Amino acid sequence: MIAISPVLAEVAADFGVSTATAGQLRSVSGLAAGTAALAMGALVARIGLRDLLLIGLAVLAAGSLLSAAAPTFAVLVAAQVAVGAGLAVVLSGGLAAAAAWSSDERRSQVLSWTLVGQPGAWIVGMPVVGLVGEVSWRLAWIAVPFAAAALAFLAVRTRPHDVSAEPGRGTWRLLRRSPDVAGWALGELLAFSAWAGTLVFVGALLVESYDSSPASAGLLLGLAAVAYLPGNFLARRWIGGSSRPILIALPLVAAAMVIVLGAYRPSPAASAGILAALAFVSGARTIVGSALGLEVCSMRRVFAMRIRAAATQFGYLVGAALGGLALAAWGYAGMGATFGALFALAALPHAAAMVVRRRRVSAGPVVEDEALGAREIGS
């Protein structure tokens, strides 16, 4: 997802485009991924999670190879469509598998370990991307996304074939009928837009602000990602009744941090430290937000993870687009302020949900929206 971050400036220089323009590669893959995540309901119902993951990993590997070989920026843009589609399938299928292939008692534990996959990839992958980027940015696509997709493909093939028990349709109906589900999805989209946009441009921020090499930028990104892990694991205790307040507080804290990241750049170590703190908060917010999605869509877990994958990838579209515009117009300080606004907006759907819930409680017993939506879809 962020293999291009440490070498973004090199990609821009190689093809003669601006850093802001090169950052729109994630807009293209984000659009493809978000669309694929929303559209793949019938596919998972027909072939099951294992085969769905195999398809996604194969497409991701092919897109990575095409990205590495792209002779022009236009071809690289086209390759990102395949990368985005593969990412959507892998993310939504992998997270849905964490829910479907585990017991109710172990689900939060398995989900948190599954979510560790992404920061784990950043910790290992970003230094590797930076090192090979010293030779060529093209090697980054071979060294990390292609290699990882190929190894994961071999691993997933060892699992027996399964068939999804969930219906493949009803995405838009459930979003329309259940305000809780729609509000959760909107909050995830806004939060991921801010976080994803930060990840797209932070490598270029380090390179251009401090004249850092891709290797040093990749190492700093990998070290900062370590902080995501304790955030993810510590937040497991907050899953449950306190999810909504946490999903209000954490985005507001992240908003302040990303504003400082863009405006205050005294040294590479300082910027990496701020990014690490932001990664800690994002790790905590991500596990709580994902668990809330599984809760409000309790009868549609694959659906919940499809929506989460779509929010993640459309977040790259929104974050890269708005971040690129802000960077071109106001520099990195303006970019940080833009992402700060997105983080702050991500708290609003959860605040509104808490207000509505209090009013319902005071008015007497009611049927929960998410349960109603699930029954409607099931019928």
Could you give the C-alpha distances from 81 to 39, 61, 84, 101, in angstroms and in order?
Answer: 15, 12, 5, 29
Six token digits for residue 287: 């596990």
Work out whether the CA dihedral 230, 234, 235, 239 comes out positive or negative. positive
What pLDDT shows up at residue 366?
Answer: 47
Tokens 């190689």 -> residue: 14
Read off the pLDDT of each residue in 27-41 and give the average, rounded to a whole number.
81
Could you give the C-alpha distances from 210 to 105, 249, 270, 335, in angstroms and in order?
Answer: 48, 32, 11, 17
Rounded Cα distance, 179 and 185, in Å: 10
User: What ranges in the chain are assigned the alpha helix state H?
Assistant: 8-15, 19-22, 25-39, 41-47, 49-69, 73-100, 107-115, 117-133, 138-141, 147-156, 171-177, 179-210, 214-225, 228-234, 243-263, 268-296, 301-346, 348-363, 369-378
139 compared with 5, residue with greater pLDDT: 139
What pLDDT shows up at residue 299?
Answer: 55
Confidence of residue 218 (pLDDT cuts 50, 70, 90): confident
Six token digits for residue 56: 């996604």
Read off the pLDDT of each residue in 116-122 and give the average, rounded to a whole number.
81
| CATH for the stretch 5-378 | 1.20.1250.20
Rounded Cα distance, 352 and 357, in Å: 9
What pLDDT shows up at residue 375?
Answer: 41
Q: pLDDT > 70: what percent of the chain? A: 88
What pLDDT shows up at residue 190?
Answer: 96
What pLDDT shows up at residue 241?
Answer: 63
Q: Is the pLDDT of residue 348 over 50?
A: yes
Whole-prediction pTM value?
0.77
Tell me the range of 87-91, 197-201, 327-331 where mean pLDDT is highest.
327-331
Read off the pLDDT of each residue in 341-370 and give the average, rounded to a whole number.
80
Rounded Cα distance, 321 and 26, in Å: 9
Lowest mean pLDDT among 124-128, 155-159, 312-316: 312-316
Read off the pLDDT of each residue in 60-75 and give the average, rounded to a whole number.
95
Confidence of residue 311 (pLDDT cuts 50, 70, 90): confident
Q: Is the pLDDT of residue 214 over 90?
A: no
What pLDDT shows up at residue 300?
Answer: 64
Q: Is the pLDDT of residue 287 over 80?
A: yes
Read off the pLDDT of each residue in 91-113 and give the average, rounded to a whole number.
79
Read off the pLDDT of each residue in 344-363 and give the average, rounded to a whole number.
88
- Report the chain's C-alpha Rg in angstroms: 20
84 in helix, strand or coil? helix
C-beta separation of 166 from 300 below 8 A? yes
Q: What is the DSSP string of 235-279?
A: GGGG-STTHHHHHHHHHHHHHHHHHHHHH--S-HHHHHHHHHHHH
C-beta separation of 98 from 114 below 8 A? yes
Read off the pLDDT of each residue in 213-228 and give the average, rounded to a whole number.
87
23 compared with 176, residue with greater pLDDT: 23
Identify which of 161, 153, 31 has the alpha carbon closest to the alpha carbon of residue 83: 31
What pLDDT shows up at residue 373?
Answer: 42
Tokens 């309901």 -> residue: 41
What pLDDT shows up at residue 1?
Answer: 75
Average pLDDT, the chain: 85
Confidence of residue 379 (pLDDT cuts 50, 70, 90): very low
Identify the burial level of 23 via C-beta atoms within 10 angstroms of its C-beta, where 0-12 means exposed, 13-18 middle and 19 or more buried: buried
